[in-house]
Structure 1
């Protein structure tokens, strides 16, 4: 693939996601008022408890057998390592910036949990459809791409609520609230909801700029570099089966913005909700360039 083909293939899917996110943000403004706070809460609950499980189960059932699932053993390891390494980077950021105690849970959550679910459900099929994509056979790519993305969402959700949430709970000094605001959704509702949730960042409270820069640097520089080294080591050591799409998914899992599930976790411990909205807003703004550049590199790597 030439440089221009890689650029177009990498940028168009990211732009598709961002445009849909922008629509959600517009719907959530006071002027439009379609995705009000109450509407987002109810839609979040419906798609999280009904649409997400149905989407994941149907995609996995149509594509994978027990034998083929065994070939994907590295995905949970890749995601677990990404969470552990991300939280370690977050811990370093807390000590370097001398972050206030009420922001520690927010920083650790943003660094350890990436958007490896709903973002992939839109991004991967879009990459498959691009003419210059090295992923051949559109129908096969789309089918397996959705299955890989669904598996990533399922594993990621388990990790985020078993690992990241406990880090958030332990690192905050606040008692857990009984209110549970579910997050995420399914195509295209989930991306609209993401945009609706990000609108709070425009009116969020002040947060030290070095913390925002640090989180962005961890998510779009440090984690992708470390993750790429680990995945490439596994590929060249013969640990992974030769599937370029699976290879791409593993690489992308380390180069995404923070997960929207974090909003639910922070709401439960009732600490740093406003600051989180600011970090999420800037992270998704930077993702328009960061995710595109990393996608270009990953597509070149597998081609």
Structure 2
């Protein structure tokens, strides 16, 4: 059901991008994507981490970092196997392995989270805790994959003297969210009930909530550029993907629960 709900929103984005409606044409998608990157996602990430990352509970979230690390390692191994089997041009090996390593950290979790939280026995508990915990997990995973680029970005900065390349909006938002959540005096000023500046946090949270539906609509609109042949190829790829995921996901959940003891 969560996947079906996401697909329905994607279909809406696809319809809005057609020539008949032309509400999500190339220019509109470009501007909306910039809004997501520079405004919606930073607000969503900052608010999610600020609300969840308290100093007392920070030690209890060790499994988030471990899970992201394991996901990146498994993705890297699968990416290496993929390039060995498909044999793409040598200069693309690093790109393929990097994409497999990052996988769907962040974006896909954000997209599927609202529908997932409505389901019983979801991975993030009761509906009252699912949204904040799930958003914190997705925010942390996205922030980690932004921090993973720091080494590469630092080298770019040393050559180009461009500070903007290392401080992406999501990275800055993650830093601010950590500071607000961990520093108790700042947290009491912005987040806690009766906080004098709670209206600022509430406004940022309202803006951030627009990020999930926006990026989902963009995904649907981008499908319009594909040909029928490409869509059929994509369908076959997704068929194999979900077929393998049914087995691998079950195996991973069993191992994960065994590790937690």
The alpha carbon displacement at 1:228 in A equals 3.4
Which has the higher mean CA deviation after the structures are superposed, 99-108 or 48-57?
Answer: 99-108
User: 36, 39, 43: which is aligned to 1:50?
Assistant: 39
Q: Which digits, 9 at most, give the CA deviation of each residue in 1:218-240, with x for residues without a partner?
A: 9836863674355234212xxxx
TM-score by length of 1: 0.55
The alpha carbon displacement at 1:20 in A equals 0.8
- Alignment partner, residue 182 of structure 2: none
The alpha carbon displacement at 1:88 in A equals 1.8
- Aligned CA RMSD, in angstroms, stands at 4.0
| Equivalent-residue separation in structure 1 for 2:247 and 2:222 (angstroms) | 26
- Alignment partner, residue 22 of structure 1: 11
2:220 aligned with 1:190, yes or no? Answer: no
Q: Secondary structure at the match of 2:227?
A: helix
User: 107, 122, 130: which is aligned to 2:119?
Assistant: 130
Gaps of at least 5 residues in structure 2 are 154-164, 171-209
- Alignment partner, residue 29 of structure 2: 40
Distance 1:214 1:49, change over 3 A: same
| Equivalent-residue separation in structure 2 for 1:26 and 1:55 (angstroms) | 26
The alpha carbon displacement at 1:55 in A equals 0.9
| Equivalent-residue separation in structure 2 for 1:110 and 1:215 (angstroms) | 18
Distance 1:212 1:14, change over 3 A: closer
Aligned pairs for 1:1-303 within 5 A: 12-101=1-90, 104=93, 107-130=96-119, 137-159=126-148, 161=149, 186-202=211-227, 212=237, 216=241, 220=245, 224=249, 227-228=252-253, 230-236=255-261
Distance 1:120 1:34, change over 3 A: same
| Equivalent-residue separation in structure 2 for 1:226 and 1:117 (angstroms) | 22
- Alignment partner, residue 286 of structure 1: none
Q: Secondary structure at the match of 2:212?
A: coil
State the aligned residue count: 207
Gaps of at least 5 residues in structure 1 are 1-11, 167-177, 237-303
Name whichever structure is richer in helix by fraction.
2
Q: Which digits, 9 at most, give the CA deviation of each residue in 1:213-258, with x for residues without a partner?
A: 899489836863674355234212xxxxxxxxxxxxxxxxxxxxxx
Q: Secondary structure at the match of 1:84?
A: helix
Q: Secondary structure at the match of 1:78?
A: helix
Distance 1:100 1:126, change over 3 A: same
- Alignment partner, residue 203 of structure 2: none
Which has the higher mean CA deviation after the structures are superposed, 44-53 or 102-111?
Answer: 102-111
